Amino acid sequence: MKESICIFSSFLKICLRKCSCYLFFLFYFFKQSQARDIFLKNTKF
């Protein structure tokens, strides 16, 4: 029983780490696209 809890907790940790990385990537990509839009708007003559 204790082993399964240990495995589950480690699995949960890995999932959380992957999810946080994924969310950070999405957020970063969104920020980049926003910055690109602002840049394009500002560079229009």
- What burial letters (b/e) apply to 7-37, b meaning 16+ CB within 10 Å? eeeeeeeeeeeeeeeeeeeeeeeeeeeeeee
Tell me the H-state helices in 1-45: 2-43
Q: How many domains in the chain?
A: 1
Range of the domain at 26: 1-45
Q: What is the pLDDT of residues 1-45, one digit of tens each?
A: 688 888 888 988 988 888 888 888 888 888 888 888 888 888 775
At residue 15, the pLDDT reads: 81
pTM exceeds 0.85, yes or no: no
